Amino acid sequence: MEIYISNRLFYLAWGLVTLFFVYKLILEVYTYILSILIAYILLKLYAKKFKNKIKIKGQAVLITGCDTGLGHDAALRLASIGFNVFAGCLTPDGVGVNTLREKGGETLHVVPLDVTSDTSVKDALEVVKRKSPDAGLWAVINNAGIAFNGDVEIASIETMKRIAEVNIYGMIRVTQACLPLIRKSKGRIINVTSVKGRLAIPTDAPYTMTKWAGEALSDSLRREMYRFGVNVIIIEPGHFGGITGMLTNESGKLATENLEEAWHNASSNVKSVYGRQYIDGLINNIRHVGEGGATNTEPVSDAMQDAVENVSPKYRYLVHGTNSSFDKYCVLAVLNQVLPEVVMDWLVRYTFPLPRTTEQNN
């Protein structure tokens, strides 16, 4: 009886001591996490209030994809604060280009630039060298990009290659051409990827895979450029699709035509499984891509300006784009870094429901 009571007292004491140490451990862990969180918030507030900016004295900034959208607005913004901006445009006689010429002033130069052409990139760089011999090339913003919506089983290899040629190989082509000048100025390469460079959603692989490639390219390049004092920065716009024109207006019309072409060339098996109503659903999604998204590009222009003029810019700027307080793309992109795949797959299926296929209806 005495032994039984002693054992009970021993295990009770052991349990209490264990609970005490577990409590202390949890308390210390939470205190540690809270301390880090408070320090991070204070650091962010300090950096925002006391960030150092370079002295702007007409440094050259080359931006690709300035015909419309993010590149167009960033070119006007940077020219207005004193940078010597070279706005690369695919169609130098377009409406957007005329606006650049009217509003940009003497510090904005429209340059014909096709990022898929070695010759075009070389010619654009010669213009930069000729018109900014003293200040040099301070920054390159690789912004040019095209998009396509369609399942992996529907999109053609030619379409995937065409998108990659602009979104990734165009980025590489411009970067390689400009790096000698950027190394000399100890400037920066700024690559515009997307929130989809962190988050893969269905029916978007042709576009998304190029953005993941852009992220990987930028990370590798950043670590290569440390030794030269060159910053490599990533801009990840969120829900700005409706305001950039990437899948609206003429670009939306082209995306629809590409989808129609992909459907026309699809195999009989694919057509029977998916059904015409599935393609119509994707086209309808393109037409409504801007709903709930940003109504202006200012947040991205803010990020680009900071990336260009901040002495110590961020590695990444995830830019929320919405006309409310909730950008579902950006929120899911952050969650994608911490949640298990099975949970993320459920969230993506719930957030981005797909049109029904013939097989599902049967």
Residues forming the active site = 207
Q: Which of 87, 85, 101, 94 is nearest to 137 (CA)?
A: 85
SS3 of residue 325 by DSSP: coil
DSSP for 9-41, please give it. Answer: HHHHHHHHHHHHHHHHHHHHHHHHHHHHHHHHH
The SS3 call for residue 165 is helix
* Integer Cα distance of 136 and 81 in angstroms: 17
Helix (H, G, I), strand (E, B) or coil at 87: strand
Q: Measured between alpha carbons, how far is 299 from 297 in angstroms, rounded to an integer?
A: 6
CA distance linking residue 226 with residue 229, whole number of Å: 5
* Both structure tokens of 141: 């913003």
